[in-house]
Structure 1
Amino acid sequence: MAVKKDKIRQQAMDHFIENMECTKKEVAELFGITEKTVGNWSTADDWEGKRLDYHSSPVKIKQFLQKELLSVVQGNKATLPADGISKLMSALDRCDKKADPIVVHRILKDLDNFISEEDPEFAMKCIHFHKQFLIHRINLES
């Protein structure tokens, strides 16, 4: 029984996150659960935050802008001003070319830990290069 409820909880959360216009009441009706249950799950699992992260990711924004551009190319009237699209695409392209040094550090640390579990001797050789790469990324961001 618990497995079924966990599956419903995950499906309800996924539906809410992926469908920006969907309300918690609609989720409750769709999955046959109470609004109170949806509210509890939503609070416990931060559905609102996850929804915002999902829809504001650079990938999702690019997909939205690409749909707009494709629509214009097909002869439809633009729903967004061209100047605005240009500025947004430019900003997203700049974001794609940057890597937050804190994120790079976390990834490299995770990689070092993973390698050390498999081959500690090789991991020691990698650490030097990972530190050099991190310094390189920091210098690029400055």
Structure 2
Amino acid sequence: MTKTSRVNNEPIRALAERMYVEEGMTAKAIAETVGVTEQTVGRWKKGVGKMSRDWDQLRKDFLAAPGNVRKILMDELTSLSQGDKSKLDLKAIKECVTIIDSLTDSVSVQVVMTVFKEFDTWMSSQDPETAVLFLEFHKLFLLHKAQNEQ
């Protein structure tokens, strides 16, 4: 594309950002495609100017999004099913997934305690004798959870 002078580069900058972040294109390829210099793309990429967004960080965030991780893993699965060697460290990925799952599936002791307090108050107005039984188990569970979180 021929390089021309533009009054408003924002639409071109936004397109270039998408090409870099989502399509994984190089600065040189983007410059040739949208008709600006590599220097301009480099400035945009570093976040120089009004729109200060670091494209490298945006790309990392984009690639780490769950949908994109799934796509990468599905591509790897397809490749493996065709007899190709693994390009990814699947053991490390599995360890990361396990850690993420443990973080997202867990509720803090403080949250559990707040919920138990609310439940115990309600239960004591419904059936005081049963509430006392629950209270004992709630204390035991909170101790168990606190010991396992450390």
TM-score range (shorter-chain normalised) is 0.5 to 0.7
Structure 1 position 54 matched with structure 2 position 62:
yes
Higher alpha-carbon Rg: 2
Residues 42 and 33 of structure 1: is their aligned pair in 2 closer, same or farther, counting only changes over 3 Å?
Answer: same
Gaps of 5+ in 2: 1-5, 48-52, 116-141
- The reply to whether residue 8 of structure 1 matches residue 16 of structure 2 is no
Q: Work out the CA distance in 1 between the residues paired with 2:17 and 2:87.
A: 33
Q: Can you list the C-alpha shifts for 1:32-79, whole angstroms capped at 9, x where unaligned? A: 112222111111121112112222445423321222213333xx1132
Aligned to 1:28: 31
Higher relative helix content:
1
Partner of 1:115: none
Query: What is the percentage of aligned positions where both structures have the same residue?
Result: 25
Q: Which has the higher contact order (CA 8 A, sep 6+)?
A: 1
Decide whether aligned partners of structure 1 residues 9 and 31 sit closer, same or farther in structure 2, where only a CA change above 3 A counts.
Answer: same
Structure 1 spans left out of the alignment, 5+ residues = 102-128
Letter in 1 for 2:56: E
Q: Is the 8 A contact 1:65 1:85 kept in 2?
A: no
Query: Would the alpha carbon gap of residues 97 and 62 (structure 1) be closer, same or farther in structure 2, given more than 3 Å must change?
Result: farther
Equivalent-residue separation in structure 1 for 2:30 and 2:39 (angstroms):
11
